[in-house]
């Protein structure tokens, strides 16, 4: 099964609202990453948080990591219609090997 | 900026054909990856490579092979295409060598249909 699992599977909000997506994983990690995918395109890296970090910011993005609960959240503040996309979390294993992606959250931001 | 290109955006092939999907990156990255993406299944790793002429099986290597003769190019080969290989194929690369996880840069994807 997938290492990372996103929740919810789909999220629909109005422009200006905040969007929160969650990711749970099963095994120990070195870091956790979030990616974005516009429809029919490749993935784009958004942010990486290391296992010894608890929170990280990048522009309107805020990521938290709770290694005791094996979970992470991605918060997008003041959402825009252009934020409409699928968002994936990706984890590595404790050995720092390749990434395993979750199934993604489909975010729709309505103008 | 890192650029990862894939040879085709859309490809239609017939069952039994040999199919080549090409991926090229221009930033001298050591690591390259091939994924397939299907609805409800997310991204699944087919093969990856940490160096020239080196390859490692991912989670779903059956029915696929790869070639990495040059550092910048990683090819995915479907020896005999089947309808269950209809999917979106994504290539990615990353910078650091060895088993250290880091940011992956993705190509635009190839949507392959096998009839």
Does residue A64 surpass a pLDDT of 90? yes
Share of chain B above pLDDT 70, in %: 93
DSSP-assigned states of every residue in A4-48: EEEE-SEEEEETTS-EEEEEEESS--SEEEEEEE-TTS-EEEEEE
Chain A / chain B CB contacts < 8 angstroms = 54
Quick one: which of A4, A51, A6 has its CA closest to A29?
A51
pLDDT band at A92 (very low <50, low <70, confident <90, very high): confident
Chain B interface test: which of A98, A101, A103 (most B C-beta within 10 Å): A98
Q: Strand, coil or helix: what is B83?
A: helix
**Closest chain A CA to residue B39:** A103
What is the tens place of the pLDDT at every residue in A33-46? 999 999 989 999 99
The segment with the largest mean pLDDT, out of A49-53, A80-84, B2-6, B97-101, is A80-84
Whole-number Å distance between alpha carbons of A17 and B112: 37
* Contact residues on chain B for A101, CB-CB shorter than 8 A: 35, 42-43
Interface contact A42-B106, CB threshold 8 A: yes
**Closest chain A CA to residue B4:** A42
pLDDT band at A1 (very low <50, low <70, confident <90, very high): very low
């Amino acid at each position: 099964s997938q290492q990372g699992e996103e929740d919810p599977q789909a999220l629909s909000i109005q422009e200006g609202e905040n969007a929160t997506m969650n990711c749970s994983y099963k095994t120990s990690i070195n870091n956790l990453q979030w990616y974005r995918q516009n429809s029919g395109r490749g993935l784009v890296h958004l942010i990486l948080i290391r296992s010894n970090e608890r929170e990280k910011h990048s522009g309107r993005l805020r990521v938290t990591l709770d290694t005791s609960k094996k979970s992470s959240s991605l918060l997008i503040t003041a959402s825009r219609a252009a934020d409409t996309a699928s968002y994936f979390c990706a984890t590595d294993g404790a050995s720092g090997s390749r990434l395993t992606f979750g199934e993604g959250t489909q975010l729709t931001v309505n103008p | 900026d890192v650029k990862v290109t894939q040879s085709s955006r859309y490809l239609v092939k017939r069952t039994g054909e040999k199919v080549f999907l090409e991926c090229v990156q221009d930033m001298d990255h050591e690591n390259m990856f091939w994924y397939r993406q299907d609805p409800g299944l997310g991204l699944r790793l087919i093969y990856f490579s940490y160096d020239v002429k080196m390859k490692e099986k991912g989670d779903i290597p059956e029915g696929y092979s790869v070639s990495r003769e040059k550092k910048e190019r990683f090819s995915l080969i479907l020896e005999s295409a089947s309808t269950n290989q209809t999917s979106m194929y994504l290539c990615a690369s990353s910078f650091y060598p060895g088993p250290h996880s880091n940011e992956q840069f993705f190509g635009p994807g190839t949507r392959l249909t096998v009839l």
